[in-house]
Amino acid sequence: MESKDLERQVSDGWAVLTMVLVAGFLIVAGFVVGLTSQAIFLIVLSVLAGVVWVICTAGFFTLQPNEAAVLVLFGKYAGTVRVSGFHWANPFYLKKKVSLRRRNLNGATIKVNDLRGNPIEIAAVVVWRVEDAAKACFDVDHFENYVSIQSEAALRHMAMAYPYDDFHATELISLRGSTDEVSKALQVEVQERVAPAGVVIEETRLAHLAYAAEIAGAMLQRQQAEAVVAARSRIVEGAVGMVEMAIAKLEESKQFPLDDERKAAMVSNLMVVLCAHESVRPVVNTGTLYH
């Protein structure tokens, strides 16, 4: 049966404490009078009243801000006290205190395969708090461990649903390139898993993300190769534009008429100079292109 928080009103501790102190004074006075007058009935009555007085003192408890006390009477849920301060309740209540403050769960780094099957290392930080103290106490066993285990399970499932990186620009979301979207998706999934414990997930963030050691070197070479290809593509694109501009300027001036063969030679030389990885050593041609 699913539990749900039921607000419970209890007595003010200071008012009850005043009455208990007065009752304690009367019990002591009665006991002394009974001993003095040798009234057995008064002595027995004082002793019984003293036992009741001791039992009543067990009903006092305090609550800090953002703390709740779940009351249980002989195995039956009796309600939850959320008001901070000094209180008194039925001394036979079992009072289970639950913190309602925000907590950080710094998850351990786990190894899992991403959508493409690449082994990766991933970890997350989860900010959570208890919203329903009754559910946290009665619907799950050790709700802190429950949140920890379910958060790890959600992280594993989420990591398997996305690729580590979008090398080919085909996926909309990747673990490395879409951190905000991935964090929101993880928060939704963790919330669904821990809802039975009366827990609210405030925020989730990836704390660690990297390729596993066995493929980290190969993936680094791949990233370096892609960076080189992207850089060379950019250089070639700029070189083509510069060659087109140079030929257009020469033809516009009409002082250096170029036929197709000279244009081809000029294009070849300019592309070599502009796209070369190292400085080009010029070669002076003293001859002619024509035989």
pLDDT in tens, the chain (291 residues): 556 778 888 999 999 999 999 999 998 888 888 878 878 888 888 889 899 999 999 999 999 999 999 999 998 999 999 999 999 999 999 999 999 999 999 988 999 988 888 888 999 999 999 999 999 999 998 999 999 999 999 999 999 998 888 755 555 688 888 888 999 999 999 999 999 999 999 999 999 988 887 765 666 666 666 666 667 777 777 777 777 787 777 667 666 666 667 667 767 766 666 666 666 566 655 555 555
pTM of the model: 0.70
Phi and psi based region of residue 66 (left: phi greater than 0; alpha: psi -120 to 50; beta: remaining): left
Q: Structural domain boundaries of the chain?
A: 11-98, 103-211, 216-275
| Virtual torsion, Cα 168, 169, 175, 178, nearest 10 deg | 160
What number does CATH give the domain 103-211?
3.30.479.30
